[in-house]
Copies of this chain bind each other. A is one copy, B any other.
Amino acid sequence: MTSPLRIGLAGLGTVGVGVIKLLHANAELIARRAGRPIEIIAVAARDRARDRGIDLAPFVWVDDARKLAARDDVDVVVEVIGGTEGLALDLAQATLAAGKAFVTANKAMIAHHGMALAELAGEKRLALKYEAAVAGGIPVIKGLREGAAANEISRVYGILNGTCNYILSTMDAEGRDFDEVLADAQALGYAEADPSFDVDGIDAAHKLSILASLAFGTHLDFASVVVNGIGRVTAADIAQARALGFRVRLVGFAESDSSGLHQSVRPTLVAINHPLAHVAGAMNAVVAEGNFVGRLFFEGRGAGEGPTASAIVADLIDVARGEFGPAFAMPVNQLLRPTPASEGSRCECTYLRFSVVDRPGVLAEITAAMRDSHVSIENVIQRGAAPDGGVLLVMTTHECSERAVHEALSRLEGSASILGAPMVMPILGV
Contacts and interface: CB of A to CB of B under 8 A. Distances in A.
Interface of A: 18, 22, 25-26, 29-30, 32-35, 131, 137-139, 142-143, 146-152, 217, 275, 278, 290-301, 306-307, 309-314, 316-318, 321-326, 329-331, 334
Given A142-B142, A296-B299, A307-B292, A150 B317 contact: yes
A297 B300 contact: yes
A317 to B, nearest CB: 5
A21 to B, nearest CB: 8
- Cβ-closest 3 pairs across A and B: A139-B147, A150-B313, A137-B293
B146 A314 contact: yes
Contact of A146 (B137, B299, B318): B318
Nearest to A310: B293
Given A142-B142, A217-B29, A296-B299, A310 B290 contact: yes
Nearest to A323: B323
Given A294-B301, A296-B299, A142 B147 contact: yes
A380 B301 CA distance: 36
A29 B324 contact: no
Nearest to A294: B301
A271 to B, nearest CB: 13
Contacts of A33: 149, 217, 329-330
A309 B325 contact: no
A331 B31 CA distance: 12
A155 to B, nearest CB: 14
A314 B290 CA distance: 12
Given A30-B150, A139-B146, 16 more contacts: A18-B292, A25-B291, A26-B151, A35-B325, A35-B326, A148-B310, A150-B316, A275-B278, A293-B301, A293-B311, A294-B301, A296-B300, A297-B298, A297-B299, A299-B299, A323-B325
Nearest to A150: B313
A150 B22 contact: yes
20 contacts: A22-B292, A26-B150, A26-B292, A29-B152, A34-B149, A138-B296, A139-B147, A146-B323, A149-B313, A149-B314, A150-B316, A150-B317, A291-B306, A292-B306, A293-B301, A293-B307, A293-B310, A294-B306, A297-B297, A297-B298
Nearest to A216: B29
A152 B26 contact: yes
Contacts of A313: 149-150, 292
Contacts of A32: 217, 330, 334
A292 B137 contact: yes
Nearest to A1: B334
A299 B274 CA distance: 12
A18 B278 CA distance: 32
A100 to B, nearest CB: 19
